[in-house]
Chains A and B, each alone.
Chain A
């Protein structure tokens, strides 16, 4: 599916460029965006090193296990494949919390660590597992409590009350979060019916 979407986006873009006469812009875009991707990854190094370093301390001190223990009832319902005291629990939880508080920078390294653990649980196969899809669904529906960047932009443009969108955002994010779990379950049971799982 990703293969198809990727090819369709590129080929369709090239065709549109041909028809619209935007070939110049597209040529420039190819190299500037490739450049941007590398800059993004290099920029990510600082954040990744800092948070993964700090999280290693938290892990060695047993903080992640404690966090996992605290929320075990909810998380084990969402991720029935993950054993109760598995390190994946702690990473999934800390990633969710980082997302809730709008700490996108801190959330990424934790999410990657969680994925790593989930992959290990799946026998290290390069194939997606049920828990990975659930984790991704929760992540992309992004339960946010404080949309920090958005508030900052509203402040910059002189909103009367820059934070008045926090309430609506929480409501919308809650709806989409719950929906994401239902959508995830729907596709899971569809795979079960088809005998794929």
Chain B
């Protein structure tokens, strides 16, 4: 596993060097191509702003008002019968909505229960195996101007749910 971490650290520099050298070998005007491609980045970033403001405001209002806490409380009792620890519920609920909030909660759970505790490991696994569906949806569809999302949200959220359940089952099986 140490090897994996090392690989991921050297991967980016290696990739950059490889693309640059390969481009030079293929006689691509590297610098001009870079600038041309990079220009697109600016317009994409600017075009996402309204989408992200809309989503982030809704999410923060939902959280700051105590609505999220209320629903967490509602879920805690039935889920505890299934053996789901109540401490993990807020993280599971916020994970598809906000990446930074989830990272904050995961950090907090790790600090409170210890990184080698059942909850600490569960929080880490859950964080790693699910994604911020709302963010991905907002940014990707926002950037290219998709207005009708069809089944995309349902599919994304269901995939997250499977990720949450899988994390709980796997961590319980391996560490509890």
Please state if B153 and A9 are interface contacts (CB–CB under 8 Å): no
**Which A residues from 145 to 185 make CB contacts under 8 A with B?**
145-151, 153-154, 157-169, 171-173, 175-176, 179-180, 183-184
Q: What 0/1 pattern do residues 22 to 33 of A give for CB contact below 8 A with B? A: 100110111011
**Which A residues from 1 to 53 make CB contacts under 8 A with B?**
1-2, 5-6, 9-10, 12-17, 20, 22, 25-26, 28-30, 32-34, 36-38, 40-42, 44-45, 47-53
* Cβ contacts under 8 Å, B141 to chain A: 115, 128
Q: What 0/1 pattern do residues 71 to 110 of B give for CB contact below 8 A with A? A: 0000000000000000000000000100000010011001
CA distance A73 to B36 in the complex (A): 32
Nearest residue, chain A, Cβ from B67: A16
* Cβ contacts under 8 Å, B125 to chain A: 165, 168-169, 172
User: Among A108, A142, A164, which residue has its beta carbon within 8 angstroms of that of B130?
Assistant: A142
CA distance A24 to B173 in the complex (A): 44
CA distance A115 to B140 in the complex (A): 7
**Which B residues from 25 to 63 make CB contacts under 8 A with A?**
25-26, 28-30, 33-42, 44-46, 48-49, 52-63
The A interface, classified by DSSP as helix, strand, loop or mixed, is helix
Please state if B136 and A25 are interface contacts (CB–CB under 8 Å): no
User: Among A32, A40, A140, A165, which residue has its beta carbon within 8 angstroms of that of B60?
Assistant: A32
- Nearest Cβ on chain B to A48's Cβ, whole angstroms: 3
Nearest residue, chain B, Cβ from A42: B45
User: Chain A interface: which size bin?
Assistant: 35 or more
- Nearest Cβ on chain B to A24's Cβ, whole angstroms: 9
User: Among A16, A55, A61, A180, which residue has its beta carbon within 8 angstroms of that of B155?
Assistant: A180
Please state if A183 and B129 are interface contacts (CB–CB under 8 Å): no
Q: What 0/1 pattern do residues 138 to 176 of B give for CB contact below 8 A with A? A: 011101111111111111101110110011001100110
Please state if A173 and B136 are interface contacts (CB–CB under 8 Å): no
User: Among A115, A146, A168, which residue has its beta carbon within 8 angstroms of that of B171?
Assistant: A168
Please state if B61 and A2 are interface contacts (CB–CB under 8 Å): no
Please state if A106 and B152 are interface contacts (CB–CB under 8 Å): no
Nearest residue, chain B, Cβ from A149: B103
User: Among B58, B126, B147, which residue has its beta carbon within 8 angstroms of that of A127?
Assistant: B147
Q: What 0/1 pattern do residues 111 to 149 of A give for CB contact below 8 A with B? A: 110011001000000111000110011011110111111
- Nearest Cβ on chain A to B32's Cβ, whole angstroms: 9
Contact A61 to B149, CB < 8 A, known contacts A37-B56, A41-B52, A183-B159: no
Interface flag for A69 (CB, 8 Å): no
Please state if B61 and A13 are interface contacts (CB–CB under 8 Å): yes
Please state if A44 and B57 are interface contacts (CB–CB under 8 Å): no
CA distance A170 to B158 in the complex (A): 19
**B contacts, CB < 8 Å to A:** 1-2, 4-5, 7-8, 11-12, 16, 19-20, 22-23, 25-26, 28-30, 33-42, 44-46, 48-49, 52-67, 70, 96, 103, 106-107, 110-111, 114-116, 120-121, 124-133, 136-137, 139-141, 143-156, 158-160, 162-163, 166-167, 170-171, 174-175
